[in-house]
Amino acid sequence: MNWTSISNTSLIGRLLRLPLRLIPRQTVVPILQGPLRGKKWIVGSGNHGYWLGSYELGKRALFVKTIPPGGVVYDLGANVGYYTLLSAVLAGPRGRVFAFEPLPRNLEFLRRHLSLNRIDNATVIEAAVTDRGGTVRFEEDASTSKGRIGAQGSLEVRSVALDELVARERMPRPDLLKIDIEGGEFLALQGARRILTESHPVIFLSTHSGKVHKECLAFLELLGYRIVPIDRRPVDRSRDVLATPSGN
């Protein structure tokens, strides 16, 4: 059966996925379809679409085409590592991936997925990405994919700004940025102004409020980026966009 053609939200999609709840959460399974087919995945780490091959099909297809062989990818909001693993495999042994994730539960799965698949070209950075280094409060959510920086957060986590991090630790600058950090996207972009201005990485950007979306678009356009929606909505109402240097 081609799981990728069946929406998770359709009635048949929900019915077909009911038995998946019976699979023990720590079970390790092969990813069934897509560019990561055959790679190992932990069932209980999150969305079943990760290993069924149905997760974010349109965005994933474009992402796969954009990763440069031998390139450097920064995964901001790596969660449990789906895009990190995808980037590491497609960038190849000469490529480098840096996965940024602050939430301990996600970090455990992220590291296990990299270990299970013997990925040695990805580095995990245990931190939230914002506009300055230090520490921030982090708000957890019932869904571990929706944690965010917030003054009322119960966790205190390390924070980094990409410009500072690259300058201090001499990390290679990214060819591609994937940013999905539940409302912190504008601050992360501000903290990477020098990278964006001088290196012009391609950016996959997911935003989570209308205000942040407008701020991000205005900032990127100011720096000379061309922005197109990934989800076929008008760009001002899209929440997933691809930003490329105007000269590309």
Parallel/antiparallel/unpaired status of strands 155-160 and 134-139: antiparallel
Confidence at 24, pLDDT banded by 50, 70, 90: confident
Among the listed residues 111, 106, 112, 134, the one whose alpha carbon sits nearest the alpha carbon of residue 124: 111
Summarize pLDDT for 53-80 with one digit per residue, the tens.
888 888 999 999 999 899 999 999 999 9
At 3 the pLDDT is: 47
Please tell me the distance from the alpha carbon of residue 100 to that of residue 147, in angstroms, as a whole number. Answer: 13
Predicted TM-score (pTM) of this structure: 0.88
The pLDDT assigned to 241 comes to 96
The CATH number that domain 56-245 falls under is: 3.40.50.150
Residues in the chain: 248
Residues linked to residue 29 through DSSP beta bridges, in sequence order: 41
Residue 220: pLDDT above 70?
yes
Q: What is the largest CA-CA distance in the chain?
A: 52
Confidence at residue 141, expressed as pLDDT on a 0 to 100 scale: 62
| Strand stretches in 31-146, DSSP E | 40-42, 72-76, 96-100, 122-125, 128-129, 134-139
pLDDT digits (tens, 9 = 90+) for 98-111: 999 999 999 999 99
Structure token pair of residue 248: 């590309």
pLDDT at position 125? 97
55 contacts 79 by C-beta, under 8 angstroms: no
pLDDT > 90 in the chain, percent:
66
pLDDT of residue 4: 45
CB 247 within 8 A of CB 223: no
Neighbours of 157 (CB within 10 A): 18
What's the whole-number mean pLDDT along residues 189-213? 95
Q: Where are the domains of the chain?
A: 1-55, 56-245
> Number of helices and strands (H, E) in the chain?
9, 13
Q: What's the whole-number average pLDDT of the chain?
A: 88
Instruction: Calculate mean pLDDT across residues 134-147.
Output: 70
pLDDT at 155 over 60: yes
